[in-house]
């Protein structure tokens, strides 16, 4: 695994493992254990995923030291507010079976973004979380919390893949040294279908998913792919032994269609 640093100096792996929709207890434990054995050292979960307990169980049973795994979770929309967020964080820690998180995020922009962010700042200042950030925030959502913030978010986890590149938001976050994480970086396989991705896979002797994940990393974006198969998990980690040329990066950049899977953060009705 290779690492980069967040703006506060805390190290984060360059690629992580997403756990969305892995909520069956036995399957969740097995899948996360398999991911850790394959070499993943960043686990991304959330209260909403309903699997924090199983992710924590898998981590404890892995034999790895807690300090060697970057553990991230998120506060859900119905827990926004200062006191509510502090309570939600305590609940997540209890379920995960740990006394700290490496990263805690606001899952979606909702009402009480400012109060929720103030709670995250408190948790950070108390040393209960190593880094704090947001998820699915657009520029104006970030502007809202930063008007009164003491700490600028260190991470913004958003939908990001060749067909939905959010270039304006990406540039905004890079100016503020906010690291982007990409959920659904392969767009459930849709991002692998363009002919240019297949052509580049043949050129570099790699798979289409490796081409897309390498493109993420060279854009300074941390992808969070998910798979339940060991072979695919290992395949997705095989991105550190080659580099895409500038011309080939530009070919993928040209695929942007504004096509996305997730909800519009300006219309969060859940």
* Residue spans per domain, the chain: 3-189+219-229
Report the pLDDT averaged over residues 243-256.
98
List, as one string, the DSSP characters of the chain: --EEE-TTS-EEESS-EE-TT--SHHHHHHHHHHHHHHT--EEE--GGGT-HHHHHHHHHHT---GGGSEEEEEE-GGG-SHHHHHHHHHHHHHHHT-S-BSEEEE-S--TTHHHHHHHHHHHHHTTSBS-EEEES--HHHHHHHHTT-SS--SEEEEE-BTTB--HHHHHHHHHTTPEEEEESTTGGGGGG-SHHHHHHHHHHT--HHHHHHHHHHHTTEEEE---S-HHHHHHHH--SS----HHHHHHHHTT-----SS--GGG---
Q: Which residues are catalytic?
A: 49
pLDDT at residue number 144: 97
pLDDT of 188-243, one tens digit each?
999 999 999 999 999 999 999 999 999 999 999 999 999 989 999 999 999 999 99
pLDDT of 121-164, one tens digit each?
999 999 999 999 999 999 999 999 999 999 999 999 999 999 99
pLDDT at residue number 23: 84
pLDDT at residue number 9: 97
User: What's the predicted TM-score (pTM) here?
Assistant: 0.96
Of 3.20.20.100, 3.40.50.11540, 3.60.21.10, 3.20.20.70, the CATH number of 3-189+219-229 is 3.20.20.100
pLDDT at residue number 60: 96
pLDDT of 12-46, one tens digit each?
999 999 999 988 999 999 999 999 999 999 999 99
Mean pLDDT, rounded, of the chain: 97
Report the pLDDT averaged over residues 53-78.
97
Share of the chain above pLDDT 70, in %: 100
pLDDT of 76-128, one tens digit each?
999 999 999 999 999 999 999 999 999 999 999 999 999 999 999 999 999 99
């Amino acid at each position: 695994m290779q690492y980069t640093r967040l703006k506060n100096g805390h190290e984060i792996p360059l690629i992580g493992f997403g756990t969305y929709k892995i909520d069956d207890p036995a399957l969740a434990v097995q899948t996360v254990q398999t991911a850790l054995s394959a070499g993943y050292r960043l686990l991304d979960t959330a209260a909403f995923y309903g699997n924090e307990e199983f992710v924590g169980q898998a981590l404890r049973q892995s034999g790895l030291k807690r300090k060697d795994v970057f553990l991230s979770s998120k506060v859900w929309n119905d827990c926004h507010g200062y006191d509510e967020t502090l309570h939600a964080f305590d609940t997540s820690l209890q379920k995960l079976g740990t006394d700290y998180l490496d990263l805690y995020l606001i899952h979606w922009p909702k009402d009480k973004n400012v109060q929720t962010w103030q709670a995250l700042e408190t948790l950070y200042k108390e040393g209960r979380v190593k880094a704090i950030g947001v998820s699915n925030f657009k520029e104006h959502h970030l502007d809202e919390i930063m008007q009164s913030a003491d700490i600028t978010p260190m991470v913004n986890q958003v939908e990001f893949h060749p067909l939905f590149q959010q270039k304006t938001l990406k540039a905004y976050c890079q100016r503020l040294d906010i690291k982007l994480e990409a959920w659904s970086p392969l767009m459930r396989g849709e991002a692998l279908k363009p002919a240019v991705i297949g052509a580049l896979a043949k050129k570099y002797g790699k798979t289409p998913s490796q081409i897309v994940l390498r493109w993420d990393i060279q854009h300074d974006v941390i992808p969070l792919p998910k798979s339940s198969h060991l072979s695919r998990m290992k395949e997705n980690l095989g991105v550190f032994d080659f580099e895409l040329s500038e011309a080939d990066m530009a070919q993928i950049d040209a695929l942007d269609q504004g096509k996305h899977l997730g909800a519009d953060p300006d219309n969060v009705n859940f």
